[in-house]
Structure 1
Amino acid sequence: MTAPDHTTGDFTGQVVIVTGAGSGIGRAATIAFARAGAHVLGVGRRPDALAATEAEHPRIVAFPLDICAEGAADQVVRAAIDRWGRLDVVVNNAGITGMMPLAEVTAARITDMLTTNVTAPSLLASAALEHLRASRGVIVNVSSTFGHRPIAGASHYAATKAAIEQLTRSWALELAPEGIRVNAVAPGPTESEALASAGLPQAVIDEIKDDEAARIPLGRRGDPAEVAAWILRLSDAHTAWLTGQILTVDGGYELV
């Protein structure tokens, strides 16, 4: 079934960076921005997945790179500026998830999650600041329902998303005098490759998906395009008086 086009707004002439653009919400947002007129630099670790995203629209340029690598943030911003000469929107979508009960934590796994989910988006936002000041641009962070509700067995993932939400509010306050807006979307369970990337077997993935759908008031998991639509809306000039907000898009999941 093809998802409806929920996109709004006109981003003609604008330049957008989206991390984690190879699949899921990142791919959906990259395509939606391009269809709305923007030039989009899609960043991700997997060249093949990014190539598939790039093939969806001529205004998408794939930039294969591990956003956690040394100097990656500067490389990403420089690639956008060298190609298009400006930067209007940064979407910090790349992240990792994974079950990690307290009894099984290791320093390496905690560090990896913090590096990907907190440090990398912070460095990218910082590297983009000069250009976002010039365009009075926008940062949109991708959190999770679990950024503001607990989850057993994945406390460190939830903690990284709680950090992103507090960074969103604090950056919004810090950057408002410069005309830069910062908001976040907090998706609930959404169709993506995240569970498979976490190394879970298919039987477990299917069980998790069925359980999540059963607990969501609207009765289903989300589609990436539905979340992408709100990323665009938070980036649009029509929301120019909105900053420091966390928008939960989860079918009512946080209500139960």
Structure 2
Amino acid sequence: MSADSSDQIFAGHVAVVTGAGSGIGRATAVAFAEAGAQVLGVGRREGPLKETAALHRGIDILAIDVCGEGAPAEVIRTAIQRWGRIDHLINNAGATAVMRLADTDERTITNLLALNVVAPSLLAHAALPHLRETSGTIINLSSTYGHRPMAGGAHYSASKAAIEQMTRSWALELAEEGVRVNAVAPGPTRTDVMLRAGLTPEAADDMYGYERERIPTHHIASADEVAHWVLRMADPAGRHATGQVITVDGGLELI
């Protein structure tokens, strides 16, 4: 697994990656480690996190629910205790909810916003004093549906629209302090997120097939392809880019 990160541009850096047990989070954790960073991979499930850590010796893990009381502060405290600094916070952990208006459920909305909006906010708040010291970066994971509608996914889209607006607002707040804030907005990407949202494997395959036909490039991204852009937005050479949302969806947002 690689995201085209054979050089060591992040040597000496520390990256915190949430949702590192699978998919884009796992690919991002490995890509940062391959590029020289020490990585704290964070997620709820210890087993998948151990699988991620086994892919590179530069990855340590912390099994914790980032929505739990005091969890964001604990994540940041753990990274500081292990390495003494934080250079990059990757807010990747998130959930998808397929829920039409007629089926709206309060608990689903509350849980979705807690993970997709509240937790990234509290993690960024906890990390900020350390990111100021390193002129670090915050990379938020949005979605192409953060800026285009999705029938049956209104609350998911709204949560990602919130992430994109937080990205822009934080970038303005922190520009003079040397902390850059950007977002990567993937289109359909082959991960297990649809299965965790409640779809059967067959239904997930049908959805990927439908999306593949709609995407101008007729390609469903891999997690590695998205991780490539996360690293590019964190790259010190890109220090003049902040407040940007980079959409990686094969042109889907154009139609």
2:115 aligned with 1:120: no
Q: Is the 8 A contact 1:9 1:236 kept in 2?
A: no
The CA distance in 1 between the partners of 2:10 and 2:3, in whole Å, is: 16
The CA distance in 1 between the partners of 2:202 and 2:128, in whole Å, is: 44
Task: Report the CA distance between 1:6 and its aligned residue.
Answer: 2.3
Amino acid at match of 2:4: H
Question: Which deviates the most, 6-15 or 221-230?
Answer: 6-15
* Counterpart for residue 92 of structure 1: 91
Question: Which deviates the most, 196-205 or 67-76?
Answer: 196-205
* Counterpart for residue 4 of structure 2: 6
The CA distance in 2 between the partners of 1:165 and 1:232, in whole Å, is: 18
Q: Mind listing any 5+ residue stretches in structure 1 that lack a counterpart?
A: none
2:43 aligned with 1:25: no
Q: Secondary structure at the match of 2:74?
A: helix
Amino acid at match of 2:152: G
Q: Deviations over 1:64-104 (max 9, x none)?
A: 11110000011000100000000000000000002010011
* Counterpart for residue 80 of structure 1: 79
The CA distance in 2 between the partners of 1:9 and 1:188, in whole Å, is: 28
> Cα RMSD between the aligned structures?
1.0
The CA distance in 2 between the partners of 1:219 and 1:242, in whole Å, is: 29
Amino acid at match of 1:131: H
* Counterpart for residue 182 of structure 1: 181
Amino acid at match of 1:229: H
Q: Mind listing any 5+ residue stretches in structure 2 that lack a counterpart?
A: none
* Counterpart for residue 168 of structure 2: 169
Q: What's the TM-score, normalizing by structure 1?
A: 0.97
Q: What's the TM-score, normalizing by structure 2?
A: 0.98
* Counterpart for residue 39 of structure 1: 38
The CA distance in 1 between the partners of 2:218 and 2:83, in whole Å, is: 43
The CA distance in 2 between the partners of 1:4 and 1:235, in whole Å, is: 16
Pick closer, same or farther for the CA change 1:4–1:60 going to 2, 3 Å. Answer: closer
Q: Is the 8 A contact 2:2 2:34 kept in 1?
A: no
The CA distance in 2 between the partners of 1:192 and 1:170, in whole Å, is: 29
Matches within 5 A, 1:1-256: 5-7=3-5, 10-256=9-255
Q: Secondary structure at the match of 1:68?
A: coil
